[in-house]
Amino acid sequence: MNGLKIALAATALTFGAHTTANAAPEDAFGTWRDATKGSTVRVYSCGGGLCAQIVKTSDAGAKDVNNPNPALQKRPIAGLVIMSGAKKSGDNAWKGSIYNREDGQRYSGSITVVNKNTLELQGCGLGGLVCSSRTWTRIN
Protein backbone atom coordinates (compact mmCIF):
# COMPACT_ATOMS: atom_id res chain seq x y z
CA MET A 1 0.00 0.00 0.00
CA ASN A 2 2.90 2.36 0.65
CA GLY A 3 4.09 1.89 -2.93
CA LEU A 4 0.63 2.72 -4.20
CA LYS A 5 0.48 5.96 -2.21
CA ILE A 6 3.93 6.99 -3.38
CA ALA A 7 3.12 6.11 -6.96
CA LEU A 8 -0.19 7.90 -6.96
CA ALA A 9 1.36 10.91 -5.33
CA ALA A 10 3.93 10.98 -8.11
CA THR A 11 1.74 10.77 -11.17
CA ALA A 12 -1.78 9.75 -10.30
CA LEU A 13 -4.50 11.22 -12.42
CA THR A 14 -7.75 10.45 -10.80
CA PHE A 15 -9.95 13.36 -10.07
CA GLY A 16 -12.68 13.59 -7.45
CA ALA A 17 -16.16 14.98 -7.64
CA HIS A 18 -15.59 18.53 -6.34
CA THR A 19 -16.83 20.40 -9.39
CA THR A 20 -18.32 23.82 -9.86
CA ALA A 21 -21.16 24.92 -12.11
CA ASN A 22 -18.69 26.85 -14.29
CA ALA A 23 -16.49 23.84 -15.04
CA ALA A 24 -16.82 22.03 -18.35
CA PRO A 25 -15.25 18.71 -19.35
CA GLU A 26 -13.16 20.35 -22.08
CA ASP A 27 -11.57 22.50 -19.36
CA ALA A 28 -9.48 19.41 -18.54
CA PHE A 29 -7.49 19.91 -21.73
CA GLY A 30 -4.34 21.98 -21.35
CA THR A 31 -1.01 22.00 -19.55
CA TRP A 32 -0.92 21.39 -15.80
CA ARG A 33 1.59 21.55 -12.97
CA ASP A 34 1.83 18.83 -10.38
CA ALA A 35 3.51 20.79 -7.58
CA THR A 36 4.02 17.66 -5.47
CA LYS A 37 6.33 16.03 -8.00
CA GLY A 38 7.41 19.12 -9.94
CA SER A 39 6.14 17.70 -13.22
CA THR A 40 4.37 19.36 -16.12
CA VAL A 41 1.62 17.27 -17.72
CA ARG A 42 -0.30 17.90 -20.95
CA VAL A 43 -3.91 16.68 -20.95
CA TYR A 44 -5.40 16.38 -24.43
CA SER A 45 -8.23 14.89 -26.44
CA CYS A 46 -7.41 11.55 -28.06
CA GLY A 47 -9.58 9.01 -29.83
CA GLY A 48 -12.79 10.39 -28.36
CA GLY A 49 -11.33 10.27 -24.86
CA LEU A 50 -8.72 11.96 -22.71
CA CYS A 51 -4.97 11.34 -22.60
CA ALA A 52 -2.23 12.72 -20.36
CA GLN A 53 1.49 12.93 -21.08
CA ILE A 54 4.37 14.03 -18.87
CA VAL A 55 6.16 16.77 -20.80
CA LYS A 56 8.69 17.87 -18.19
CA THR A 57 10.01 16.58 -14.89
CA SER A 58 12.06 18.15 -12.13
CA ASP A 59 14.47 15.24 -12.43
CA ALA A 60 15.73 15.82 -15.99
CA GLY A 61 16.91 12.69 -17.72
CA ALA A 62 14.88 10.41 -15.43
CA LYS A 63 14.10 6.99 -16.88
CA ASP A 64 11.18 4.61 -16.30
CA VAL A 65 13.37 2.40 -14.06
CA ASN A 66 10.45 1.01 -12.03
CA ASN A 67 8.69 -0.46 -15.06
CA PRO A 68 8.39 -4.25 -14.63
CA ASN A 69 9.24 -4.68 -18.34
CA PRO A 70 13.05 -4.44 -18.63
CA ALA A 71 12.73 -3.33 -22.26
CA LEU A 72 10.90 -0.16 -21.09
CA GLN A 73 13.14 0.75 -18.16
CA LYS A 74 15.41 2.98 -20.26
CA ARG A 75 12.65 5.09 -21.77
CA PRO A 76 12.58 8.70 -20.55
CA ILE A 77 9.87 9.87 -18.16
CA ALA A 78 9.49 13.12 -20.14
CA GLY A 79 7.21 12.15 -23.02
CA LEU A 80 5.62 9.25 -21.18
CA VAL A 81 1.86 8.89 -21.73
CA ILE A 82 0.46 8.11 -18.29
CA MET A 83 -3.24 8.04 -19.22
CA SER A 84 -4.81 7.17 -22.56
CA GLY A 85 -8.36 6.70 -23.71
CA ALA A 86 -10.02 7.82 -20.49
CA LYS A 87 -13.77 8.08 -21.04
CA LYS A 88 -16.15 10.75 -19.84
CA SER A 89 -17.79 9.53 -16.63
CA GLY A 90 -19.79 12.58 -15.57
CA ASP A 91 -20.43 16.21 -16.39
CA ASN A 92 -16.86 17.24 -15.54
CA ALA A 93 -15.09 13.92 -15.03
CA TRP A 94 -13.09 11.29 -16.91
CA LYS A 95 -12.19 7.73 -15.85
CA GLY A 96 -9.47 5.48 -17.13
CA SER A 97 -6.23 3.76 -16.33
CA ILE A 98 -3.22 5.64 -14.92
CA TYR A 99 0.42 4.58 -15.16
CA ASN A 100 2.43 5.31 -12.05
CA ARG A 101 6.11 5.81 -12.75
CA GLU A 102 6.96 5.39 -9.06
CA ASP A 103 6.13 1.68 -9.09
CA GLY A 104 5.63 0.91 -12.78
CA GLN A 105 2.01 -0.19 -12.24
CA ARG A 106 -1.36 0.83 -13.66
CA TYR A 107 -4.26 1.89 -11.46
CA SER A 108 -7.85 2.95 -11.99
CA GLY A 109 -7.98 6.71 -12.04
CA SER A 110 -10.07 9.74 -12.70
CA ILE A 111 -9.71 13.40 -13.56
CA THR A 112 -12.32 15.89 -12.41
CA VAL A 113 -12.46 19.51 -13.51
CA VAL A 114 -12.90 21.60 -10.36
CA ASN A 115 -12.71 24.87 -12.29
CA LYS A 116 -10.83 26.24 -15.32
CA ASN A 117 -7.57 26.36 -13.35
CA THR A 118 -7.81 23.29 -11.13
CA LEU A 119 -8.01 19.54 -11.72
CA GLU A 120 -8.49 17.01 -8.99
CA LEU A 121 -6.76 13.69 -9.62
CA GLN A 122 -7.40 10.40 -7.90
CA GLY A 123 -5.85 6.98 -8.35
CA CYS A 124 -7.08 3.79 -6.72
CA GLY A 125 -5.73 0.29 -6.24
CA LEU A 126 -6.92 -2.90 -4.58
CA GLY A 127 -10.34 -2.66 -6.21
CA GLY A 128 -10.86 0.91 -5.03
CA LEU A 129 -10.01 0.20 -1.39
CA VAL A 130 -6.89 2.38 -1.39
CA CYS A 131 -7.01 5.75 -3.13
CA SER A 132 -4.84 8.83 -3.27
CA SER A 133 -5.73 12.30 -4.56
CA ARG A 134 -3.90 15.43 -5.58
CA THR A 135 -4.63 18.75 -7.22
CA TRP A 136 -3.06 20.07 -10.43
CA THR A 137 -2.92 23.74 -11.38
CA ARG A 138 -3.26 25.04 -14.94
CA ILE A 139 -0.16 26.46 -16.61
CA ASN A 140 -1.99 27.23 -19.90
List pLDDT tens digits, range 113-137. Answer: 999 999 998 989 888 788 988 899 9
Direct distance between the N- and C-terminal alpha carbons of the chain, in angstroms, rounded to an integer: 34
**pTM, whole model, 2 decimals?**
0.79
Does residue 90 have a pLDDT over 80?
A: yes
Taking the C-alpha atoms of residue 61 and residue 79, their distance in angstroms, rounded to an integer, is: 11
Does residue 7 have a pLDDT over 70?
A: no
Mean pLDDT of all residues in 31-49: 90
Domain boundaries, the chain: 2-138
Domain 2-138 -> CATH class = mainly beta
Cα dist. 129→59, 87, 96, 107, 121 in Å?
31, 22, 17, 12, 16
Taking the C-alpha atoms of residue 8 and residue 57, their distance in angstroms, rounded to an integer, is: 16
